[in-house]
Amino acid sequence: MKKIYYVLALALMLPFMATNAATGTIDLSGRSLTAIDGQVYDLGQLQADNTILIFDFWATWCGPCLSSIPGLDEIWVDHGPLGDQTYMIFSIETDQATTNEQEIIDAYGIPNPVIIGDNNTSVKSNEFAYTGSIPYFTVVCPDGSWEDRTGGIGTDPTPLLNIGNGCGVTSSIVNDARMLNVNVTQECPETNTWVPSLEIKNIGSTNLTSASVEVMVDGVVTETIEWTGDLASGGVETVDASAVVFNGVGTQTVEAEITSANGGADDNTLNNGATGTKSYAISESLDIEIELILTSYPEETGYAIKDESGTVLSSAVAGDYAGATANEIITFTLPSFDACYTIDLTDSFGDGSGGIIVRNAAGDVLVENTSAYTTLSVNKLYASEDSDGDGFTDVVEDLSGSDKSDANNTPENYNVGIVDVENVSLFNTYPNPAINELNVEVNTSLSGTISVELVDVLGRVVKTNTLTNDKTTFNTSALTQGIYLVNVKNNEGTLATSKVMIK
């Protein structure tokens, strides 16, 4: 697919240029704001509680306003109710003619209070130095002094945080251990034993020297970890939980909850929990069907099915589908059980092929990556058999002679297993599904300046990060649940794409 929209896309994505800041004072005592969900916020009390207030004047049709949501999300998670509780953000919709506020909230996963502004709203943009351009932000200190900014912030919260730093507010939270992630590593072949790793972050003002962590597997408490160490404020520690044994086919959930910090109560319990899930899906059938979704340039698309040694079992190269007017269907029988297979989707021009769908013999979708951004899709399949002849399939053959399914599951319901870590040769994403944060580790052999995009199902780039030591972390706690694409890019374009679930 040839890209012809560079200028238009750039114009839509760039935030307005920021103007020189204005300052002033405002008295918010006795004022309140009512959010779209009906919750009432006492602004005077928030200031009395030493909270910095950010007023975000925006509209649902304003591109730079929407592109600033990720930056506001970062402030909300790190410094709002989930973080050190020094900030509160209010997004005040300025166009009384619009009616799609809730739709935008749901689509973009806006976590902070959204207010539909009208003539009765207690805080108005014209009380500050608003000149008619949005997005328009004012940062109000607890003493009523304020400074403004006109223009979007994109994914970078720094412009607003720099203003807020001038308020001189420090967090009152002393002991705050935050559970960042329960990390899950998917393998191929799958095994029935895995070790979740837990990421704990100290966002309190004092060093974290101990924390109690309760671990639950599928709703049942399995252990309490008594962690000790010396973690400075802002530091992250990774702790391995005990090995978890999987006893069925489907999805296994591991929850980790911090129950105490530094030997006592955690001062902020809103960020103490995280969840990780791991899926198991296995098959008795070796027949698969691959549907290549062809673009207007079908001659650019190719594919290759490879075994674990890298031997190509079936393939097509650029030019094979020249002149095709419909998607290409390939039927193939995987040659053996208890083996992993890789399907590569390639695009000779390098600007993105149409996508790929893989189905099993029953027609169930095993892999679906239909993004036009895909230039290389590596999808791993694992096939397993009923090795002991009792009618049920095994995750692996050698585990004490017993199956890893129970008698309530029937073989015809099993699928060729998917380890949903596409493009593992180029990068790895975890945990998947993601709850609060999504980590992306990129192969160090990639050249050029590498960036990573998180794209929603509508094709909108919701977050863009750059790499630090070949790794980046997305804050996903405020995103709408669903399927997202992770695009790894360099200066030449998109290198690889993976599909992730965010819960």
pLDDT digits (tens, 9 = 90+) for 397-444: 222 223 333 333 332 222 233 333 333 346 777 776 777 888 887 766
Q: Are residues 210 and 323 in the same domain?
A: no
pLDDT at 389: 46
- Indicate whether this model's pTM tops 0.85: no
Q: Find the range with the poorest average confidence among 63-72, 80-89, 397-406.
A: 397-406
Q: CA dist 103 to 63, 98, 100, 453, 466, Å?
A: 15, 11, 5, 23, 29
Is 214 a domain residue? yes
pLDDT digits (tens, 9 = 90+) for 89-132: 999 999 989 999 999 999 889 999 999 999 899 999 999 999 98
Q: Are residues 150 and 265 in the same domain?
A: no
Q: What is the CA radius of gyration of the chain?
A: 25
Q: Which amino acid is at 311?
A: T
Closest CA to 1 of 293, 290, 291: 293
482-490 and 32-34 as β-strands: parallel, antiparallel, unpaired?
unpaired
CATH of residue 182's domain is: 2.60.40.10
Is 117 a domain residue? yes
Q: Are residues 107 and 199 in the same domain?
A: no
Q: Are residues 147 and 192 in the same domain?
A: no
392 pLDDT band, cuts 50/70/90, is: very low
pLDDT at 364: 72
Q: Is the dihedral of CA 473, 479, 482, 488 positive or negative?
A: negative
Closest CA to 337 of 291, 381, 390, 403: 381
417-419 and 451-455 as β-strands: parallel, antiparallel, unpaired?
unpaired
Please say if the pLDDT value at position 167 is more than 80.
yes
The percent of residues in the chain predicted with pLDDT above 90, rounded, is: 42
Contact present, 137 and 15 (Cβ < 8 Å): no
Task: Answer with the one of 165, 187, 206 that is the final residue of a domain.
Answer: 165
Domain range for 241 is: 177-280
* Pairwise CA distance, residues 344 & 316, whole Å: 10
Which residues are within 8 A (CB) of 413 and not within 5 positions of it... i.e. 6 or more apart?
none
* Pairwise CA distance, residues 71 & 75, whole Å: 7
Q: Are residues 373 and 402 in the same domain?
A: yes
pLDDT at 24: 95
Q: Are residues 24 and 68 in the same domain?
A: yes
Q: Are residues 469 and 330 in the same domain?
A: yes
Q: Are residues 132 and 181 in the same domain?
A: no
* Pairwise CA distance, residues 261 & 265, whole Å: 6
The SS3 call for residue 210 is strand
Is 276 a domain residue? yes
Is 172 a domain residue? no
| 474, two tokens | 């997305």
Contact present, 112 and 136 (Cβ < 8 Å): no
Q: Are residues 157 and 212 in the same domain?
A: no
Is 206 a domain residue? yes
* Pairwise CA distance, residues 251 & 281, whole Å: 9
Q: Are residues 302 and 202 in the same domain?
A: no
CB atoms within 10 A of CB 172: 12
Beta bridge partners of 136: 57, 150
* 32-42 burial: b if 16+ Cβ within 10 Å, else e: ebeeeeeeebe
CATH of residue 433's domain is: 2.60.40.3080
Is 120 a domain residue? yes
The SS3 call for residue 33 is strand
Is 285 a domain residue? no
* Pairwise CA distance, residues 227 & 213, whole Å: 8
Task: Answer with the one of 232, 253, 280 that is the final residue of a domain.
Answer: 280
Please say if the pLDDT value at position 73 is more than 70.
yes
Is 6 a domain residue? no
Total domains, the chain: 3
Burial class (CB in 10 A: 0-12, 13-18, 19+), 414: buried
17 pLDDT band, cuts 50/70/90, is: very low
pLDDT digits (tens, 9 = 90+) for 253-262: 899 999 999 9
Q: Are residues 332 and 476 in the same domain?
A: yes
The percent of residues in the chain predicted with pLDDT above 70, rounded, is: 77
Q: Are residues 74 and 223 in the same domain?
A: no
